[in-house]
Chain A
Amino acid sequence: MPVPGLILLAGVLAVPLAALWALRWAASHGELGHGDRAALLPFDEEEPVGTATDQILNRPAKP
């Protein structure tokens, strides 16, 4: 196989191999567990679960 072909093949293989490595890292660091906790990460004390944000359109007119 010519050199460019080898580079392309290496490039194509690199993504899934890197993904497998990252998957192993994630598993060993507990990233694949605690899903319920991880799902709460976008929320904070200022905008907790249950608080809708960005509700700026079609608001009722102020009296």
Chain B
Amino acid sequence: MSAPAKPLSALMPGDVSDEHAKRALLAEIDASCRVPLLFFFVSALAWLLVGTALALVSSIKLHDPAFLAECPWLTFGRVRPAHLNAVIYGWASQTGIGVTLWLMCRLCRVPFVAPGLATVAALFWNLGLSVGIVGILAGDSTSIEWLELPRYATPILFFSYALIAVWGVITFRLRRERHLYVSQWYLLAALLWFPWLYATAQILLVLEPARGVVQGAVNWWFAHNVLGLWFTPIGLGAIYYFIPKVIGRPIHSYYLSVLGFWSLALFYNWNGLHHLIGGPLPAWMITVSIVASVMMLIPVITVAINHHFTMRGHFGKLKHSPTLRFVVFGAVCYTLTSLQGVANSLRGYSEIVHFTHHTVAHAHLGVYGFFTMVMFGAMYYILPRITGREWPSLGLVSLHFWACAIGLALYVGPLSIGGILQGLAMNDATKPFADVVAGTLPYLKLRTVAGLLLGLGHVAFVANLVWMLCRVFGPYRQPVVDLITGNESPAAVGK
């Protein structure tokens, strides 16, 4: 990268009234994010591939139990939690952190503060996770869902996260734009909520385990809130930034977006215990959780209305923007999975779908259909800006989108229906359990086919990124710093 003639520090203090200085600052922000974000994104994608492979092995084992059954490391009880933790902490959390860092810099109007600190954090995060995943495959899982990483791996992750949280606070304090955009509310909240959730769950379930039903309550409070108070705010924060940014139109109603954030903050935290309907817990705890789950209709409907009306008249742009395709797909999935979640929380419906593949489909609609698709869209927007290079193959972009979209539909649709049929059959006392299990086989085989399609999409995306990073391209756009400093050479940001 060519060094700008005018040092960034000269552009930093006070109000930036000079347009050239503002534009130089934006280019500098993107360039300053390059190393830590590439570290987070590339390692996240590596974990996505690992997680996909583990998912395929798990899925095949569900309809062909003899598959790789001789190897203890690859038995279902190890591969499945390894898949879950690889995608949750390796892929989703890392890509979410990367997108959060970039959005915070952009919206706070400050270049990346201490990129070395964030890079060290990324290094430790991957170290801790590698130790943890190997530990799970070796048989050291804690057996607590969503917290299977062995206790010797979690301090490394926690140290890494502390560095990221410190970074977030510093960036927020240094912000040059005093007013906060709604995305910043979501992102800041996520940065603060996650360590609190993780620490509380670790204390109550791993370090000093609670006894009896409290374990179940804590487990579901944590697992549900990781989705709702960690991934959801990051995903929604990204949607609120990228839809207006790509179509060039402000959000339809800013006040509605703020209402959505505050209602999420007030109601979501109580939701998790609806997974324990029928369990040996005080009835009032379950009832409070159901009421809070229904209250989630407020943020979900406000978000859906706001996104739809923002996009109105601009749906044609879906044809031209990969970011918009993925993000809008994710936004629609957010609405669907949230409405499905409200239905699942009702006692009558839960009696049918509890303990069935319907819950698996619901989780994938949320974590994959909503969060992962939004993150893909964000990466399509961010990576060209921080590397200075175009996406080399638009064919691979389209292949990525359609393989993932069709794969997800094939995963969620049949498995949701199959789950309901499975639940109805399980509630029929005259039906032998073995027949109920056998009845799910067609859906489980379709799930493997869907997983292969998702894997194809992931390989296409990774291939495009590797191609982008390895091949020498012209600049995506001439660095603005070069324009104002008179350096007309084609020294691209990414070279």
A46 with B269: CB separation less than 8 A: no
Q: Which residues of A contact B471 (CB under 8 A)?
A: none
A42 with B244: CB separation less than 8 A: yes
A7 with B179: CB separation less than 8 A: no
Q: Which residue of B is nearest A7, CB measured?
A: B204
Please, what's the 1-or-0 string for A15-35, where 1 marks a CB less than 8 Å from any CB in chain B? 110111011001000111011
Report the separation of the CA atoms of residues A37 and B197 in the bound assembly, to the nearest whole angstrom. Answer: 34
A2 with B214: CB separation less than 8 A: yes
A: contact size bracket: 35 or more
B217 with A8: CB separation less than 8 A: yes
A38 to nearest B CB, angstroms?
A: 5
Q: Which residue of A is nearest B229, CB measured?
A: A15
B26 with A44: CB separation less than 8 A: yes
- In the complex, B312 has a CB within 8 A of chain A: no
- In the complex, A63 has a CB within 8 A of chain B: no
Interface of B, helix, strand, loop or mixed by DSSP: helix
Q: Pick the residue among B22, B249, B381 that contacts A54 (CB under 8 A).
A: B381
Q: How many residues on B have C-beta within 8 angstroms of the other chain's C-beta atoms?
A: 63
Please, what's the 1-or-0 string for A28-58, where 1 marks a CB less than 8 Å from any CB in chain B? 0011101111111111111111111111111
- In the complex, A12 has a CB within 8 A of chain B: yes
A-binding segment of B250-258, B409-417, B420-428: B250-258
Please, what's the 1-or-0 string for B323-338, where 1 marks a CB less than 8 Å from any CB in chain A? 1100000000000000
A4 with B214: CB separation less than 8 A: yes
Q: Which residues of B contact A49 (CB under 8 A)?
A: 248-250
Q: Which residues of B contact A46 (CB under 8 A)?
A: 23, 26, 480
A16 with B266: CB separation less than 8 A: yes
Report the separation of the CA atoms of residues A45 and B485 in the bound assembly, to the nearest whole angstrom. Answer: 18
A5 to nearest B CB, angstroms?
A: 6
Interface residues of B in 160-211 (CB under 8 A from A): 177, 179-183, 185, 189, 192-193, 196-197, 200, 203-204, 208, 210-211
With A23-B262, A31-B179 known to touch, is A45 a contact of B23 (CB < 8 Å)? yes
Q: Which residues of A contact B181 (CB under 8 A)?
A: 38, 41-42
B398 with A43: CB separation less than 8 A: no
- In the complex, A59 has a CB within 8 A of chain B: yes
Q: Which residues of B contact A40 (CB under 8 A)?
A: 250
Q: Pick the residue among A7, A15, A43, A53 that contacts B250 (CB under 8 A).
A: A43
Interface residues of B in 207-259 (CB under 8 A from A): 208, 210-211, 214, 217-218, 221, 229, 241, 244-251, 253-255, 258
A22 to nearest B CB, angstroms?
A: 7
Q: Which residues of B contact A31 (CB under 8 A)?
A: 179-180
A11 with B221: CB separation less than 8 A: yes
The winner among B107, B200, B390, B391 for most chain A CB atoms within 10 A is B200
Q: Pick the residue among A8, A16, A52, A54 that contacts B265 (CB under 8 A).
A: A16
Q: Pick the residue among B106, B196, B398 that contacts A11 (CB under 8 A).
A: B196
B218 with A38: CB separation less than 8 A: no
Q: Pick the residue among A4, A22, A45 that contacts B19 (CB under 8 A).
A: A45
Q: Which residues of B contact A57 (CB under 8 A)?
A: 319-322, 394, 397-398
Q: A19-B189, A47-B245, A56-B322 are in contact. List 13 more A-B contacts (CB 8 A).
A: A4-B208, A5-B210, A11-B197, A15-B269, A16-B269, A23-B265, A32-B258, A38-B180, A41-B179, A46-B23, A48-B248, A56-B391, A57-B397
Q: Report, nearest first, the 9 A-B pairs whose CB atoms are least far apart.
A: A4-B210, A35-B254, A19-B265, A15-B269, A39-B250, A41-B181, A39-B254, A55-B320, A54-B321
A sample of 8 cross-chain residue pairs with beta-carbon separation below 8 angstroms, ordered by A number, consists of A11-B197, A41-B177, A42-B241, A44-B22, A44-B26, A48-B248, A49-B249, A56-B391
Name B residues whose Cβ lies closer than 8 Å to a Cβ of A.
19, 22-23, 26, 106-107, 177, 179-183, 185, 189, 192-193, 196-197, 200, 203-204, 208, 210-211, 214, 217-218, 221, 229, 241, 244-251, 253-255, 258, 262, 265-266, 268-270, 317, 319-324, 380-381, 390-391, 394, 397-398, 480
